[in-house]
Structure 1
Amino acid sequence: MPFPSVAAAAATTLAGLWWRIVAVAGLIAVADVALQRRRFTTKLRMTPREVRDERIETDGKPETKARRRAVGARRVRALSIAAIRRATAVVTNPTHVAVALRYAPPRLDVPVVVARGAGLAAGMVRAAAEMHDVPIMESPDLARALYARVDVDGPIPEECYVAVAAVFAWILRTRGRLGGAEEASPR
């Protein structure tokens, strides 16, 4: 066999072998990519314990959420619309705090807080007061002091007597009477 034909046959054989090697290497690469991707996604999966821990980290502990929900429910219960209807006056700072006061001498010697609210609840107190024609007076310092110191159905502290008396004096000057909707409507 002459050399050129041997060289041509060897080149053809080597070229065929080369393409087979490339094809096998390509198949191995595709299989390896699929295997690596599967291992990576499996590695990213969280155990049930990790899922629980992450949920607690983002949402908070269930006990804390339940406690927060209970406090919110207690605040809503404390915000009685019927009590606001019987209020003598509502003292507010413009938007954040509202305290409804009731004063009915001789039955009540000292004014008492019948409802109070902060934030959204303050808006609800104010709206209920407007709906029942209860006088609303803006007195930020007094509203904050009463909200901080007095719970619902609690008497106002002695330090607030003068300021609350000024509120009731304002009501007497503007309305000519002291009393909530309960006294205004005969039964």
Structure 2
Amino acid sequence: HLSLERNRITDLRQCDRYLPPHLEHLGLAHNNIPDLNEISHLVHLTKLDSFSVQGNPCVAMAGKDKLGFDYRPFVLNWILSVKSIDGFVVSAIESLKAEWLYSQGKGRHFHAGQHQELCEYLASTCPLTADALETEDQRKLRLILSKAQHHQQQLKDQNHSPLKTKLQSPRVQ
């Protein structure tokens, strides 16, 4: 556990050097981190379970246009092991969005100094919507997630079926 909250931290460039890879809980809330791309310096924390970053300028609405975006999938795109961000459990939809950002999107395309470009990208791919209506992309993600969960359940059911058990048991001759 390491709490570095309220320490006026502005960058994370030396984290790979000073933070142990087995760290499980890291608190960086309420610092002065201006660029969300700094999260990339935490990629080596493969055991990180909970992470806090709220209260930093990088997660506030950005730019003159006050772009709103969900930063949580972007954090997950870099720190795959995280189960809780800013005190809230990571949802399956957020994990799926993070996986998409990592594999199909531009989740790791931006670098430090490109915060505004990242914000614009996240505002289009991970927008904050004030309305209760689900966007078409969110509907598709939920459908994909539902199908994946259904497939996992089918695999579990197959592994526990009596026919499979009978086929796997050694033959007596």
TM-score tier after normalising by the smaller chain length:
under 0.3
| TM-score of the two chains, using structure 1 as the length reference | 0.26
Larger Rg: 1
TM-score by length of 2: 0.28
Judging by fraction of residues, say which structure has more helix: 1
